[in-house]
């Protein structure tokens, strides 16, 4: 066969080799050049390395005066590195020697530097021979490669379960059984390891029961494969022929009789299960330990799978590709990253849209044991722009379609669709306390309010709640995280973020995006029939924001678990911006707030949340009044905050002193409600309505914190303009108020809502 023309890269490599011979003063020489016989073959250059006088008492292997090597230059040189073969097997067993006749100079593709070309390659080859001569040749510092196997069958074996302790602790040669599931498409999964034949009978009973119950799928059929654990490392490669392999196994102590008996047992077992179907795969698993220098925490470092059913008369051994994913020896690629928090967790994702769907996928890939996805909407054509559905999914329920796709990522993980309204789950049974994390990606105000209400009214454990949202033009995103023990949930923390943004110049863009002062113009409705106004944003935008917000939330959860500190904040928010929006502030910000003081209106069943800053303002006012007129004179003022009748929460965000026109005396305090509301108007405008006048507070210096008839009469009058108002009394019985002013303890607190009188034509709230 005539030689083919060299590629430009091969021609350059040959020129470089000749130049290296010239400048290396006889250290290397070219013996022969054999052009490739086909276009996809390598250029073969036979060379000799001068090793005269190099062999010493410490040499790994005695070297000849001139050591022959063949350099194979691939057609794509320098973008593909050359290889080195040997015309002998004297170096078998040395580090970096594979198949006993090839030297592996590069452990990975990125070890090869194309810029150094043949000069770098020859330099590395000479270094290898020098280290052999000195006896200092070492293998890679990590277990980078399993022993090489020969021709592949095209099938593969997945190992996802660790060896039992009894086998891990047995360092001698042993024979065992692997329970393998035939998945189909040439794939087989090791599901369990058995010490002996008695355990195999349990597997047979399980299979028979499964068959009788109708839970039977040919693609999921099981079979047994004998497994041999070798006591010594194999080296860089298994023998190529059947005869050499059997001889090598016998050399490690495998008795042919034991091997034959185990094979006969597995064949009989598999024949009984696969009766009436094609024969079960006939495999032999070979496990080898790692060299001593490798710290692999398993008796078996590498597993190879020999396909025995190619025929006993064939000399060549057929091997399956093995993907070894045993937890004991596998290091996840996301280790040390925030997503590690999700391993083994149960996660509930509310909303399967542009944020929820990628977030659910991130959870499954991170190793969540159970992921529940809930959404009652169907897939529409327009959402394919940014939501991970296909044309075939149009008209299907989002939760169902998403769960089907995510279920194939990890067969050991449960992905369960819930194709109904999230509010039904929040307000019904079973409680959300059964999961480890709730993620609200609905961006739905009703869902957020239901969550806020459910978190403070439900009894028992409350999992962390991570709520996500994006701005109207997808330039910004925000997330809130309520840790267990937080005084509020998503609505609470988002409101807190907005209030903070109203006085922080670095967050003004967030205030304008998520809390606009005026309603935006025409809503964005992308297609006819889209009933809900939406936002502009691409799949890339939403996936990026979903990943950032999830990562930040998981990082906080990880820190909280490590802190073991009651002072660790329980309410958090994260803000993320695109590069174009970053000019308005830093790309990412994380904020936290201490818990509010929480009290309950015992009559109307509203939860009252008193900001520590509001209490501090009241304390200052009480202290000032005590300095001016004595501690026995009542004082008080306005309460600023918000009343949310949907989640039945009242926020007391700030407290001012008495507005103009107020009267304070030892007998009581009288406020003018009209003056009070006018006094708070600027605060309401700055906070976009989140901090407004909601009621009044005053002290009972010498009495318990209980409303007097005058207090009730005053509050009824304040509510007469149609707005509910809050009364807060700080009591001083038994010197409690004076101790609070001294900084020793909190005062008695009474908080009560007063609604307009229904006899005036206005409805009072109905108790739940």
Task: Output the domain CATH number for residue 245.
Answer: 3.40.140
Residue 421 tokens, joined: 């309204």
Residue 241 DSSP symbol: B
Residue 43 tokens, joined: 């250029």
Q: Name the strand (E) or helix (H) holding 573.
A: strand 571-577
Same domain, 285 and 404: no
Question: How many Å apart are CA 101 and CA 99, to the nearest integer?
Answer: 5
Same domain, 170 and 103: no
Q: How many residues does the chain have?
A: 768
Same domain, 417 and 434: yes
Q: Name the strand (E) or helix (H) holding 710.
A: helix 709-718
> What beta strand segments (E) does 91-212 contain?
97-98, 102-103, 152-159, 174-184, 187-194
Q: Which residues pair with 284 in a beta bridge?
A: 306
Same domain, 585 and 603: no
Domain with 86, as residue range(s), is 8-134
Does residue 140 form part of some domain?
no
Does residue 206 form part of some domain?
yes
Does residue 403 form part of some domain?
yes
pTM over 0.95: no
Question: How many Å apart are CA 116 and CA 767, to the nearest integer?
Answer: 79
Does residue 506 form part of some domain?
yes
Domain C-terminal end among 293, 324, 355: 324
Does residue 332 form part of some domain?
no
Residue 41 DSSP symbol: S
Instruction: Please name the residues in contact with 286: beta carbons below 8 A apart, sequence gap of 6 or more.
Output: 227, 228, 230, 234, 238, 249, 303, 304, 305, 306
664, 671, 672, 670: which is closest to 630 by C-alpha? Answer: 664
Q: How close are the terminal C-alpha atoms of the chain, in Å?
A: 91
The whole-number pLDDT of residue 294 equals 62
H-type helices in 276-369, by residue range? Answer: 356-366
Q: Determine if residue 183 is left, alpha or beta; phi over 0 gives left, psi from -120 to 50 gives alpha, anything else beta.
A: alpha
> What beta strand segments (E) does 424-566 contain?
437-440, 465-470, 476-482
Question: How many Å apart are CA 695 and CA 717, to the nearest integer?
Answer: 12
Instruction: Please name the residues in contact with 305: beta carbons below 8 A apart, sequence gap of 6 or more.
Output: 157, 225, 283, 284, 285, 286, 319, 320, 322
Question: How many Å apart are CA 55 and CA 50, to the nearest integer?
Answer: 11
Chain centre to alpha carbon of residue 200: 37
**CATH number (domain holding residue 488):** 3.40.50.720
Number of domains in the chain: 4
Concatenate the DSSP letters of all residues of 717-763 into one string.
Answer: HHGGGSS-EEEEEEE-GGGHHHHHHTTSSPPEEEEEEEPPPGGGT-P
Same domain, 586 and 615: no
The whole-number pLDDT of residue 98 equals 73
Burial status of residue 439 (CB atoms within 10 A of its CB: 0-12, 13-18, 19 or more): buried
**CATH number (domain holding residue 602):** 3.40.140.10
Domain C-terminal end among 549, 568, 593: 593
Same domain, 587 and 648: no
Same domain, 315 and 403: no
Same domain, 165 and 123: no
**CATH number (domain holding residue 20):** 3.10.110.10
Question: How many Å apart are CA 706 and CA 728, to the nearest integer?
Answer: 9
User: Can you list the residues of the chain whose pLDDT is less than 70?
Assistant: 1-2, 99, 139-145, 148, 206-220, 235-236, 275-276, 291-295, 309-316, 429-431, 520-525, 527-533, 581-585, 659-679, 757-768
Report phi then psi at 122, rounded to 5: -65, -40
Instruction: Please name the residues in contact with 443: beta carbons below 8 A apart, sequence gap of 6 or more.
Output: 351, 353, 355, 468, 469, 470
The whole-number pLDDT of residue 254 equals 87
Does residue 143 form part of some domain?
no
CB 390 within 8 A of CB 436: no
Domain C-terminal end among 593, 617, 633: 593
Question: How many Å apart are CA 532 and CA 525, to the nearest integer?
Answer: 7
Could you count the other beta carbons within 10 Å of the beta carbon of residue 461?
11
Same domain, 447 and 569: yes
Does residue 259 form part of some domain?
yes
Same domain, 354 and 382: yes
pLDDT in tens, 156-193: 999 989 999 999 999 999 999 999 988 888 899 998 99
Furthest-apart CA atoms within the chain: distance in Å = 117
Residue 300 tokens, joined: 């078996």
Does residue 345 form part of some domain?
yes
CB 191 within 8 A of CB 202: no
Same domain, 424 and 499: yes
Place of tokens 């087989």: 188
The whole-number pLDDT of residue 305 equals 92
Same domain, 348 and 316: no
Instruction: Please name the residues in contact with 749: beta carbons below 8 A apart, sequence gap of 6 or more.
Output: 597, 599, 610, 705, 728, 729, 730, 731
Burial status of residue 130 (CB atoms within 10 A of its CB: 0-12, 13-18, 19 or more): middle
């Amino acid at each position: 066969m005539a030689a083919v023309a060299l590629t430009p890269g091969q021609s350059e490599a040959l020129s470089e080799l000749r130049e290296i011979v010239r400048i290396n003063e006889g250290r290397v020489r070219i013996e022969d050049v054999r052009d490739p016989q086909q276009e996809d073959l390598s250029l073969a250059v036979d060379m000799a390395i001068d090793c005269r006088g190099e062999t010493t008492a410490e040499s790994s292997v005695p070297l000849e005066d001139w050591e022959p090597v063949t350099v194979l230059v691939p057609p794509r040189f320098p973008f593909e590195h050359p290889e080195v073969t040997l015309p002998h097997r004297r170096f078998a067993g040395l580090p970096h020697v594979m198949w006993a006749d090839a030297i592996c100079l590069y452990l990975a593709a990125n070890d090869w530097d194309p810029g150094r070309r043949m000069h770098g390659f020859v330099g590395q080859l000479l270094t290898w021979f020098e280290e052999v001569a000195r006896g200092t040749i070492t293998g890679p510092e990590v277990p980078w490669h399993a022993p090489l196997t020969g021709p592949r069958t095209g099938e593969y074996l997945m190992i996802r379960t660790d060896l039992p302790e009894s086998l891990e602790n047995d360092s001698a040669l042993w024979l065992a059984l692997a329970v393998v599931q035939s998945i189909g498409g040439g794939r087989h999964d090791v599901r369990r390891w058995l010490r002996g034949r008695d355990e195999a009978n349990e597997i047979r009973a399980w299979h028979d029961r499964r068959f009788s119950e109708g839970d039977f799928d040919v693609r999921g059929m099981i079979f047994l494969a004998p497994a041999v654990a070798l006591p010594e490392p194999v080296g860089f490669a298994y023998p190529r022929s059947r005869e050499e392999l059997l001889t090598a196994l016998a050399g490690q102590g495998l008795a042919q009789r034991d091997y034959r008996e185990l094979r006969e047992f597995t064949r009989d077992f598999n024949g009984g299960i696969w009766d009436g179907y094609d024969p079960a795969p006939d495999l032999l698993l070979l496990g080898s330990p790692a060299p001593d220098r490798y710290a692999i925490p398993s008796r078996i470092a590498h597993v190879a799978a020999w396909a025995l059913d190619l025929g006993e008369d064939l000399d060549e051994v057929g091997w399956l590709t093995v993907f070894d994913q045993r937890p004991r020896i596998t290091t996840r690629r996301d280790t040390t990253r925030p997503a590690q928090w999700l391993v083994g967790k149960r996660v509930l994702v509310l909303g399967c849209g542009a944020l929820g769907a990628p977030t659910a996928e991130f959870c499954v890939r991170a190793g969540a044991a159970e992921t529940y996805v809930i959404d009652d909407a169907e897939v529409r054509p327009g959402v394919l722009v940014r939501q991970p559905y296909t044309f075939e999914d149009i008209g299907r329920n989002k939760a169902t379609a998403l769960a089907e796709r995510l279920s194939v990522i990890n067969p050991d993980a449960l992905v369960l669709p819930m194709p109904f309204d999230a509010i039904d789950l929040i307000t019904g049974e079973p409680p959300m306390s059964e999961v480890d994390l709730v993620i609200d990606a609905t961006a739905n105000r009703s869902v957020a309010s239901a969550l806020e209400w459910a978190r403070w009214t439900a009894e028992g454990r409350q999992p962390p709640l991570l709520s996500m949202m994006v701005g109207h033009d997808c330039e910004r995103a925000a997330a809130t995280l309520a840790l267990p023990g937080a005084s509020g949930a998503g609505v609470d923390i988002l409101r807190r973020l907005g209030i903070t943004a109203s006085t922080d110049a670095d967050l003004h863009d967030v205030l304008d995006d998520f809390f606009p002062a005026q309603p935006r113009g025409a809503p964005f409705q992308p297609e006819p029939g889209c009933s809900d106004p939406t936002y502009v944003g691409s799949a890339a935008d939403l996936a990026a924001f979903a990943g950032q917000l999830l990562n930040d939330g998981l990082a906080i959860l990880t820190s909280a678990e490590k802190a073991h500190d009651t002072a660790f904040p329980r309410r958090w928010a994260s803000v993320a911006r695109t590069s174009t929006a970053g000019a308005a502030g830093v790309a990412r910000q994380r904020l936290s707030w201490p818990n509010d003081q929480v009290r309950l209106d015992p009559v109307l069943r509203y939860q009252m949340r008193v900001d520590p800053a509001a209490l501090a303002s009241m304390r200052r006012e009480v202290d000032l009044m005590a300095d001016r007129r004595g501690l026995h004179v009542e004082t008080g003022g306005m309460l600023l905050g918000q009343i949310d009748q949907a989640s039945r929460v009242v926020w007391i965000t700030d407290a001012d002193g008495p507005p103009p026109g107020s009267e304070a005396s030892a007998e009581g305090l009288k406020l003018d409600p009209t003056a009070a509301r006018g006094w708070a108007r600027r605060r309401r405008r700055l906070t976009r309505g989140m901090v407004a006048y909601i009621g009044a507070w005053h002290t009972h210096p010498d009495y318990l914190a209980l409303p007097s008839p005058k207090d009730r009469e005053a509050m009824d009058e304040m509510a007469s303009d149609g707005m509910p108002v809050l009364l807060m009394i700080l009591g001083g019985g038994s010197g409690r108020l004076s101790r609070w002013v001294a900084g020793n303890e909190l005062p008695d607190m009474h908080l009560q809502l007063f609604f307009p009188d229904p006899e005036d034509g206005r409805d009072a709230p109905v108790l739940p």
